[in-house]
Amino acid sequence: MMGVLVFCVVVLAFISQGYSSQENGLLDAGGCVSRIKQQHILTNSQNFSMDLRMPGVVPTKSDNYLCMAFPVPTSRDAYIVDFIPHASMDKVHHMLLFGCQTPVSTSNYCVQGTCVDEASIMYAWARNAPPTKLPKDVGFKVGGNSGMSYFVLQIHYGDITAFRVWSTNCGSLCPPQRQPFIAGIYLLMSVDTVILPGKRVTNADIACDYTSYPIYPFAFRTHTHRLGKVVSGYRIRDGKWSLIGRQSPQLPQAFYPANKEVSVEYGDIVAARCVFTGEGRTSKTYIGGTSADEMCNFYIMYYMDSKHAIPYMNCMETGFKELFQHIPAEANVPITVSPDQMNSMMHMEHSVHIHKYKPSKMQRAKAELQVSAWPQSSLQLGQVSGLALDSDSNLVIFHRGDHRWGADSFNRQARYQQRSLGPIQQSTILVVDPAQGTILKASGRNMFYLPHGITTDKENNYWVTDVALHQVLKVSSDGTDRTLLVLGEAFIPGSDNDHFCQPTDVAVDTETGNIFVSDGYCNARILKFSADGKYLSQWGAGSSDRRRSLPFHIPHSLVFLPNRREVCVADRENGRIQCFVAKTGEFVKEIKKEEFGGEMFAITYSGLIFAVNGDSLHHSAPPRGFVISYSTKAILDTFSPSTKEFKMPHDIVETRDGSVFVGDVGSRLVFKFTPEKLHRSVKKAGIEVQELEGKAVGSLNLGNFFASHKGYSRQGFDQLSTEGSDQERNDEDSSDSENEEYSALPPPQSSS
C-alpha cells in the first residue's frame, strides 16, 4: 500500500511563563504528540506549541511539490524560537516553511504556489539536517501586525518508491516572551546559471547592495542538488570580503553557525558563490525544481532590532565579473564528502563542521576603492527617480531599491505586472546631509512598488508618486511611514478625476497648500487638488497659437514658483518647459530650445530655472544641465560631469547654498555640483563636481551664469576633482530604466 508522510511542526510562543517545551512534551520519540493543553495555554497567555500536519498526503510521482496552509492560532504577537525537524531524506528532498497573509489555498493541498502575497521563508530543511536553535532573545515574529496570518508548509517529495509503509515525520517550532530582536531569512539565489556537460567547474555568482538596517547573521544554510561542490557566502565592505559561512551542499543541509564577527550594514554588498561540476552529464543542466535540475541557494538566518525588523529579503542579481575577481580562494575549493559521511547522513548519525579554508600562503586580493570627500559614507541606491529638499535644506532622495522599471513591468493597459514581487523592502526615502553626504533619516520601507516623483510641503510631509500604484500619496516624514492622504486607486490606471495613469510628479502651493499632479506617462494633463485632496480642476498643454497647440507628451516634472504664483512643467518628449497660472491654469509661456535636443526631463526654480534634458533616440544633443532665465528664456549656461557622463538625469534640486543635485535613474547616482562659497570681495569661483556614488567627475565651468549672479566671477576657475568610492556599474544596470523612458502608453479607458 502506498504510504503517507505526515509532517508536524510544533510552533510558537507568546508572552510567557510556564510550560517549557519539555513540560509540554514537544515531540515524543514516537512521533507527533497531541496538544491537549493548547487552548488553556493560549487563553492564559502562556507559551504554546502547535502541530502542523499534512495528513493523508500521497505523492503521485517523484519530484512532487505539495503544500498546506495553517492559520496562526492567535491574533496577537507571537514568536517562533525553535525548529526541530523530523523527516528522512529517503522520502523528502526538502521542506520549506513560509509565513504570509494570504495562502493560495486554505482548504486543500496547494500544488501551484504557496502564497498570493509575498511569502517569507522562515525555515528550510534538507538532507537529514539537525535542528536549528535560535539565539537567546531572538524569534520570528508572527501574528499581530507582522503580516503573517498563515503558515504554509511546502514539501518536495523525492523518490516515490520510498513510500512503502506508513511513515510519520515531524518538526517543531517553539516558545518565549516578546523578543527584542526579530529573526529573518536573507536568501541569495541564482536563477540563470547553465552548467555545461563535462565542464569541470562552473561558478554561479550572486551579489546585491544591502540598503536596509543592520542585520546580524547567526546561521547559514547551503542548497544545491547533486552537482554542487561548495557554496560560500560573504559580506563585502570597503573592498574586504568577510566569510559568513561555507559548506558542502552534499552534507546535511542544516542551518549551521555563521561567523559571529560579521554584521551587514547599509552600504555593504552581500555575495555568494556556488561551485558546480558538469562532469558525468551529457546535456546542459539548468536551474529548476526537479532533482535532475540544479539550484544555487545560500540562506542567511539573521536577527535585527525589532523596531526595524524585515522578516525576509532576497537577492537574485548575477554578480559582475570585476567584483568576483577578488573573491577569496577558499570559495573555489570543493569540500570533499567521504562515503562514510554520506552513509551517516542516511541514518541521521552525522557530525558536521563548518569548513574554513586556511592555506598557509593565500593571497587575498583587495579591491582598491578610493573614497571621495563627498559623500563621507557610501549610499547604495537603486534607480534614483526623485529629489527634493526638506525645510532644513537637507537632500531627500526617492529611489527604487531592488525594483526596476523594465519592458515587462506593465502590460498594454498600463497595469503593473510584477505585484508578486511585493513592495520594495528597502528604505526608499533617504534624507541626506547635503554637505557631508551622510544619511540622517531613512524611511519608506514596504510601501512603494515603482517610485517616481517626490516633493515636500511646509510641514515637511512627503508628497510622492508611484507609477505602479497609479497613486499620489502624502506620507509623514517622522519615520513612522504614516500615509496621511491617498489619491488614486491602487494598481488601477484611469483618466477620470479619481484615477491617474502613471503619475510623475507633485508640486505644492506654499501659500494655499493646493497640490498639482503631472499625469503622466499615459495621460497628458495637470490636475489640481485642495490640500485635503478634493479635486479642483485640470488642464492640458498650452499655446500662444491655438491652431498649433501640441498636447503634453509625458508631463514629467513640476515646480511651483512662489513669487510668480505659477506652475511650470517639464514636458519631456516635447522637449519644452511650459508655465501656467496656478489659480486658473491659464497658459503663460513656453521655453523650447534646440539645445534641449527634444527632451526635457526635470526642472527646479530659485529665481532662475535649473533643468536637465535626457538622451534622445532622435536628437544628438547630449544629456546635461541648464541654467535658464525665466524672464528672457535665455540659456545662461550648461553643465555636466567631466569624466563620467549622465546616463539618464531624472530630477534636479538646488539647495540654499547654491549647490545643485541631479538624480540619475540610469546610473543610479546622485551628482552634486557645488559653487564654492567665497567672500564677496574675492573675484574668483571654483566649481566642484562630486557624486553620491561613482568615480571622479572633475570640474565644471558655469561661466556666464556665475559671472553675473550671486557675486560670482568668471575668472579663476580652478579645476578640482574628487575620486569616487564605487566601481562602475555595468551597462545592464541601466537598460531597464531606458525601457521606461521611451515607452509612453495611450490613455486607458476611464475607470469611473
- Indicate the annotated binding residues for Zn(2+): 452, 556, 650
What pairing do the DSSP bridges indicate for beta strands 167-172 and 5-10? parallel
How far CA 500 is from CA of 48, 416, 526, 745, in Å, comes to 48, 13, 11, 13
Burial-class residue 183 by CB neighbours within 10 Å (0-12, 13-18, 19+).
buried
Say which of 154, 250, 502, 690 is annotated catalytic: 154
Say which of 46, 68, 156, 403 is annotated catalytic: 156
Q: Which of 102, 106, 101, 186 is nearest to 148 (CA)?
A: 101
- 65 forms bridges with which residues in the sheet? 156
How many CB atoms sit inside 10 A of residue 243's CB? 20
Say which of 68, 122, 295, 313 is annotated catalytic: 295
Q: Which three cell numbers stand for residue 623?
A: 544629456
How many CB atoms sit inside 10 A of residue 545's CB? 6
- Concerning whether 679 is annotated as a catalytic residue, the answer is no
Say which of 86, 93, 355, 499 is annotated catalytic: 93
Say which of 86, 225, 355, 470 is annotated catalytic: 225
- Concerning whether 295 is annotated as a catalytic residue, the answer is yes
How many CB atoms sit inside 10 A of residue 312's CB? 20
707 φ, ψ to 5°?
Answer: -75, -25
Residue 416 C-beta-side C-alpha neighbours within 13 Å: 26
- Concerning whether 94 is annotated as a catalytic residue, the answer is yes
Most distant CA atoms of the chain, gap in Å: 98
Buried b (16+ CB within 10 A) or exposed e, 389-428: bbeeebbbbbbbbbbbbeeebbeeebebebbebbbbbbbb
- Concerning whether 619 is annotated as a catalytic residue, the answer is no
C-alpha–C-alpha distance, residues 556 and 527, integer Å: 13
Coil, strand, or helix at residue 531?
coil
- Concerning whether 304 is annotated as a catalytic residue, the answer is no
Binding site feature residues for Cu(2+):
93-94, 156, 223, 225, 295
- 70 forms bridges with which residues in the sheet? 151
**Residue in the structure block whose three cell numbers are 506617462:** 521
Say which of 94, 350, 399, 470 is annotated catalytic: 94
- Concerning whether 308 is annotated as a catalytic residue, the answer is no
Q: Which of 368, 373, 238 is nearest to 721 (CA)?
A: 373
Q: Which three cell numbers stand for residue 55?
A: 495528513
Cis peptide before 375 (omega within 30 of 0): yes
C-alpha–C-alpha distance, residues 569 and 289, integer Å: 50
Binding site feature residues for a protein:
400, 521, 572
What strands lie across the sheet with 609-612, from one edge to the other? 602-605, 609-612, 625-628, 635-639
What pairing do the DSSP bridges indicate for beta strands 429-432 and 439-443? antiparallel
* Chain-centroid distance, C-alpha 251: 32
Q: Which three cell numbers stand for residue 261?
A: 564577527
Burial-class residue 95 by CB neighbours within 10 Å (0-12, 13-18, 19+).
buried
Burial-class residue 195 by CB neighbours within 10 Å (0-12, 13-18, 19+).
buried
Q: Which of 522, 589, 518 is nearest to 555 (CA)?
A: 518
How many CB atoms sit inside 10 A of residue 532's CB? 9
- Concerning whether 347 is annotated as a catalytic residue, the answer is no
Strands (E), 159-318: 167-172, 181-189, 194-195, 202-209, 216-223, 228-237, 240-247, 256-257, 269-276, 285-286, 297-305, 312-315
564 φ, ψ to 5°?
Answer: -110, -10
Say which of 223, 350, 399, 499 is annotated catalytic: 223
* Chain-centroid distance, C-alpha 478: 21
Binding site feature residues:
93-94, 156, 223, 225, 295, 387, 400, 452, 521, 556, 572, 650-651
Residue type, 602: A
How far CA 346 is from CA of 86, 229, 251, 298, in Å, comes to 13, 19, 11, 23
C-alpha–C-alpha distance, residues 275 and 317, integer Å: 17
- 464 forms bridges with which residues in the sheet? 454, 473
Residue type, 166: W
Torsion from C-alpha of 442, 445, 448, 453, nearest 10 degrees: 0
Burial-class residue 333 by CB neighbours within 10 Å (0-12, 13-18, 19+).
middle
Q: Which positions are annotated as active-site residues? A: 93-94, 154, 156, 223, 225, 295
